[in-house]
Structure 1
Amino acid sequence: MKIIILAGGSGTRLFPLSRSCYPKQFLHIAGKKSLLQQTVERFQGIAAPKDMVILTNETYLYHVKSELHEIGADEAQIVCEPIGRNTAPAIGLAIAFCRDVLGCSGSEVLFVTPSDHLIKPVTEFQKIAEKGEKLAQQGRIVTLGIKPLKPETGYGYIHAGEALPIGFEVESFKEKPDYKTAQSYLEAGDYYWNGGMFIFSIDTMLKELADYKPEISKAVSSGCQNMMDHFAALPDISIDYAVAEKSRKMAVLPMEGIYWNDIGSFDSISEVLADEKGDAIDGDIIADDCSNTMILGSNRLICGIGLQDLMVVDTPDVLLVARKGESQKVKKIVSQLKNAKRKEIAENVTMYRPWGSYTILAEGPGYKVKRIIINPGQKLSLQLHYHRSEHWTVISGTGKCTLDDKTVIFRENESTYIPIGVKHRLENPGKIPLAIIEVQNGKYLGEDDIVRFDDIYGRDKQR
Structure 2
Amino acid sequence: MKILILAGGSGTRLWPLSRKNFPKQFLKLPIDNSYESFFQKTLKRLCFYDDVEIFIVTNEKHKFYVIEQIEEISKKLKIKPNFEIILEPTSKNTAPAIALALKYAIEKGISKDEVFFVSPSDHLIKPENEFSSYVKASEEIAKKGYIVTFGIKPNRPETGYGYIKVKMPKIESFYEVENFVEKPDIETAIKYIEDGNYFWNSGMFAFRADTMIEEFKKNVPEIGEIFEKPYEKLLSDFYNLPDISIDYAVMEKTDKATLLPLNIFWSDIGSWESLYEILEKDSSGNALIGESVNIGTENSLIVTNKRLTATLGLQDTLVIETEDALLIAKKGESQKVREIVKILTKKAAQLVEEHTTVYRPWGSFTLLETGHRYKIKRITVNPGASLSLQMHHHRSEHWVVVKGTAKVKIGDREQYVHENESVYVPKSTLHRLENPGKIPLEIIEVQVGEYVEEDDIKRFEDIYGRENI
Same fold per superposition (TM over 0.5) = yes
What corresponds to 2:143 in structure 1? 137
Residues 1:62 and 2:64 aligned together: yes
SS in 2 for 1:229: helix
Q: How does 1:235-384 map to 2 (within 5 A)?
A: 235-256=242-263, 258-275=264-281, 277-384=284-391
What corresponds to 1:28 in structure 2? 28
125, 128, 131: which one aligns with 1:122: 128
* Offset, 1:277: 4.3
Contact 2:5–2:57, Cα closer than 8 Å, also in 1: yes
Aligned letter for 1:36?
F
For structure 2, the residue ranges without an aligned partner over 5 or more in a row are: 75-79
Contact 1:4–1:52, Cα closer than 8 Å, also in 2: yes
What corresponds to 1:106 in structure 2? 112
Residues 1:386 and 2:393 aligned together: yes
* Offset, 1:416: 1.6
CA distance in 1, matches of 2:192, 2:226: 38
CA distance in 2, matches of 1:169, 1:342: 44
What corresponds to 1:83 in structure 2? 90
Aligned letter for 1:328?
Q
Aligned letter for 1:446?
E
Aligned letter for 1:339?
K
Contact 1:68–1:74, Cα closer than 8 Å, also in 2: no
* Offset, 1:74: 8.2
CA RMSD of aligned residues (A): 1.5
CA distance in 1, matches of 2:85, 2:437: 28
Residues 1:185 and 2:184 aligned together: no
Percent identity among equivalent residues?
A: 49
150, 157, 179: which one aligns with 1:151: 157
Aligned letter for 1:145?
G
Contact 2:54–2:83, Cα closer than 8 Å, also in 1: yes
For structure 1, the residue ranges without an aligned partner over 5 or more in a row are: none
Contact 2:273–2:334, Cα closer than 8 Å, also in 1: yes
* Offset, 1:182: 1.3
Structure 1 stretch displaced more, 396-405 or 318-327: 396-405
Aligned letter for 1:85?
K
* Offset, 1:180: 2.2
What corresponds to 2:77 in structure 1? none
Residues 1:449 and 2:456 aligned together: yes
Residues 1:19 and 2:19 aligned together: yes
Contact 1:6–1:54, Cα closer than 8 Å, also in 2: yes
SS in 1 for 2:149: strand
SS in 1 for 2:344: helix
* Offset, 1:227: 1.4
* Offset, 1:399: 1.1
Contact 2:54–2:81, Cα closer than 8 Å, also in 1: no
CA distance in 2, matches of 1:414, 1:11: 42
Aligned letter for 2:366?
T
SS in 1 for 2:42: helix
TM-score, with normalisation over the residues of structure 2? 0.95
SS in 1 for 2:61: helix
Contact 1:383–1:423, Cα closer than 8 Å, also in 2: yes
Contact 1:397–1:412, Cα closer than 8 Å, also in 2: yes
* Offset, 1:41: 0.8
Contact 1:283–1:296, Cα closer than 8 Å, also in 2: yes
CA distance in 1, matches of 2:256, 2:135: 18
Q: How many residues align?
A: 459
SS in 2 for 1:352: strand
Structure 1 stretch displaced more, 415-424 or 236-245: 415-424
* Offset, 1:47: 5.8
Q: Per-residue displacement from partner, 1:369-426 (whole Å, max 9, x unpaired)? A: 1111111221111112222221212222221100111110122222222122221100
What corresponds to 1:210 in structure 2? 217
Structure 1 stretch displaced more, 315-324 or 159-168: 159-168
What corresponds to 1:6 in structure 2? 6
Runs of 4+ in 1 over 4 A off after TM superposition: none
* Offset, 1:354: 1.5
* Offset, 1:343: 2.0
* Offset, 1:453: 1.9
